[in-house]
Amino acid sequence: MSAAVNTPTPINLDTDGNTAGPITVPAGCSKITQILVSLAASIVAVGSAGVTVALKLTGEGLKDGQQELDVGGVREDTTSTGGFKALAPNEIPTDINVIAGNAINLSYVMGGVDPGSPEIGVTLVFE
């Protein structure tokens, strides 16, 4: 996740960082019931920098149109002493109507003071 603040940026579709593209709503599914979001920052960057992160869903797969959800935030510290902290994903319950077989595009928007190159991982749970 490397983008300027206030700029919608597509999310890579896989852990290999392949080109972003739409997700096809699986057959038989009518809702997104949960969104899992992981946020992290792997570098020491600008002191006192931090952003809120919003997830933006667009496309013909959304029955009720575009959706935007606040999914968390990232704050950068200026320490370089290292360390490790594992964090569980944010579990966001949703009730978003979808159309099976159609596409959903995922992007994110950061608002605040750009902390460098944070990372985002997103999982959509369909039912």
- For residues 110 and 82, what is the distance between their CA atoms, to the nearest angstrom? 25
pTM greater than 0.85 (yes/no): no
The number of residues in the chain equals: 127
pLDDT of residue 42: 63
Rounded average pLDDT per 10-residue block, the chain, 127 residues: 62 67 94 92 62 91 96 71 70 97 91 73 93
Task: Compute the C-alpha angle 38/43/45, nearest 5°.
Answer: 115
- For residues 51 and 39, what is the distance between their CA atoms, to the nearest angstrom? 11
